[in-house]
Structures are given as structure tokens and as C-alpha cells.
Amino acid sequence: MRNSVAVAVTSSEGLALSKDAPAPLYHQLKEVILHRIRSGGWRPNDRLPAEDELAQQYSVSKATVRQALSEVAQKGYVRRVQGLGTFVTEPKVQQGPRELTSFTQEMHKRGARPSSRVLIQDVVEADGAIAAALRLIEGSRLFRLKRLRYADGEPMGLQTAYLPLELVPGIIEENFAEVSLYELLGRKYGLTPARAEETHFAVALAGDDAAPLEAAEGSPGLAAERVTFLASERPFELVRAVMRGDRYKIVLQLFGPDTAG
């Protein structure tokens, strides 16, 4: 095991915090910490600077530092040891899909015929939650695309995608009943997803969701929220989805320590 050492985050990497940015300070600091870990600046078992050191360095309160560290810990990147400090964790065995795919690609891989019906295709303003997820100013203009997704003619789920309109000029004119969103983003706008953070949770289908899915109100569903990032680490898409619990399942491929790579 490597010796535990304190490593300082420096603003010389262009990662200084800004009180004028739309994202709150704790979120900005969280991203700074995650960047250092993902880039190898901090390695497993390294000790992060103390809370008061981070607070002084970034001119924020210790409460802001604690909130940032708490969220990084929730993601599994660090562990907090009472009386000793905060340490970078060992890499976890990946438990989930190893590649980012669209619904269309996913259904093709399952041997099903995908199709879609567009329910909403418009321009909206970002509310607080969406703005924070996409690191935008609240009220920024977004392209919104809500589709009912089918597999072999059967309704599988509802997906609503939000993209900053500045990145996709003219997209409102596209026919998404015929076109894959990801295929279009890469071909026309040069937007290629590098990674995504996706959260899944169980829900009871509400009436507005149950009706188009041809399911009984209150029946089980699988919901997900995904933020997709470019290679530059800029988030460019937020997707909220609700899938039928009786027709959709998540399949995980789990590897042992000798085969995970």
C-alpha cells in the first residue's frame, strides 16, 4: 500500500472556483476534487488536504468543503476516517454496462425492433435542477425532446432529453420519429458522448406516465436520470426516463477480480 500523503489542489490547472458561476460553490469544489482523482493527480490511499486548508485555499466556508466532500464520498471516490482525514478509495469493480448506448442501439443488441413516437419537441427554459445538472444559468434555453419508446411495437418507456440549445442550433426541425438522437448529435453537431452518470430507482407509474405506456396507474416502473458528458467534461445532455417494470429490465455483467481488467 502506498503511503498516505496530503496533496494540494492548485488553481493553476484552471479549476479555480467562481462565485459568479451558475453552479453553487460546493458543486464546483466537488468537480475540482473529482477531476484530480479521475486524472490521477490523487491516487488510491492519498490523503486529501484538511477541510480548513481547502476552505482557505478556495475562499469558501468549511461547511461548503464538508458538503463537497460528502458528495464525493457518496459517489465512492473517497472515504472519510474520523480523526485521520479524507482518503482516495481503491477503484471499485465496475458493476453495470461498460459502454454508453442509446435506446436504439440497446434494443438492436437485444434483437428487438426499436421505434419512437414524439410526444413533445420544443424549447424550454432550464429550471434550477436541470441548470445545475448541465452547469447552466437558470433560465437558459434548452431543446426538450420527449418520446414514447417502443420495442417490437410494444411501449417500453418514456424518455425526455434536455440539451443546451446553443449546442444544437436548428435541431427543433429534425424528425425524431425516424432519426436517432445520438446519431444526429454526432453526425451534425460533432457531439460524441464520452461518459455518463446514471441513477436508477423504482417508481409507481403515475397517470400521466401509465396511460401512454398502456400500464395500470400505480404499477411498478423503473426510472432513471442520466447526465451525459463530452470528453471535455462538459455535460451536454440530461435524460429522464420511466420504463415499464414488467417489460424492461437492467442486465448487469459482473466480473471477478481476475477478469475485470
Angle ∠(130,186,27) on CA atoms, nearest 5: 30
Residue 158 and residue 77 share a domain: no
- Distance separating alpha carbons of residues 40 and 13, to the nearest angstrom: 13
* CATH at residue 215: 3.40.1410.10
The DSSP bridge partners found for residue 20 are none
In a domain, 192, yes or no: yes
Q: Is 58 exposed, middle or buried (0-12, 13-18, 19+ CB in 10 A)?
A: buried
- The grid cell for 108 is 438492436
* CATH at residue 60: 1.10.10.10
Residue 191 and residue 134 share a domain: yes
- The grid cell for 44 is 488510491
Residue 225 and residue 125 share a domain: yes
Last residue of a domain, one of 32, 59, 88: 88
Mean pLDDT of 95-112: 56
What confidence tens digit (pLDDT) does each residue in 151-199 have? 778 888 899 999 999 999 999 999 887 788 988 999 999 999 988 888 8
- In the structure, what pLDDT confidence band is assigned to residue 108 with cuts at 50, 70 and 90? low
Mean pLDDT of 255-261: 52
- Separation in Å, CA 89 to CA 2, 84, 110: 12, 14, 35
Residue 225 and residue 121 share a domain: yes
Q: Is 252 exposed, middle or buried (0-12, 13-18, 19+ CB in 10 A)?
A: exposed
Q: Which domain holds residue 124?
A: 103-244
Mean pLDDT of 213-232: 90
- Distance separating alpha carbons of residues 119 and 132, to the nearest angstrom: 25
Residue 226 and residue 146 share a domain: yes
- Distance separating alpha carbons of residues 122 and 140, to the nearest angstrom: 14
Residue 77 and residue 54 share a domain: yes
- In the structure, what pLDDT confidence band is assigned to residue 254 with cuts at 50, 70 and 90? low
Mean pLDDT of 197-203: 87
Asked whether the beta carbons of 108 and 114 are under 8 A apart, the reply is yes
Buried b (16+ CB within 10 A) or exposed e, 98-111: eebebbbeebeeee
Q: Which carries the bigger pLDDT value, residue 104 or residue 235?
A: 235
In a domain, 16, yes or no: yes
In a domain, 251, yes or no: no
In a domain, 258, yes or no: no
Residue 228 confidence (pLDDT) above 90: yes
**What is the percent of the chain with per-residue pLDDT over 90, rounded to a whole number?**
39
Return the residue matching grid coordinates 424528425.
175
Residue 134 and residue 35 share a domain: no
Residue 231 and residue 138 share a domain: yes
Look at residue 14 in the predicted model and tell me its pLDDT.
43
In a domain, 94, yes or no: no
In a domain, 1, yes or no: no
Q: How many domains does the chain have?
A: 2
In a domain, 95, yes or no: no
Among 7-11, 136-140, 182-186, the least confident range: 7-11
What confidence tens digit (pLDDT) does each residue in 15-68 have? 568 777 778 888 889 889 988 888 888 988 899 999 999 998 888 999 999 999
Asked whether the beta carbons of 43 and 90 are under 8 A apart, the reply is no
Mean pLDDT of 193-215: 88
Look at residue 185 in the predicted model and tell me its pLDDT.
93
In a domain, 31, yes or no: yes
Helical pair 62-74 and 25-38, crossing angle rounded to 10 deg: 50
What is the DSSP code string of 76-87?
A: TSEEEETTTEEE
Q: In this structure, are strands 235-244 and 154-164 parallel, antiparallel, or unpaired?
A: antiparallel
- The grid cell for 113 is 425492433
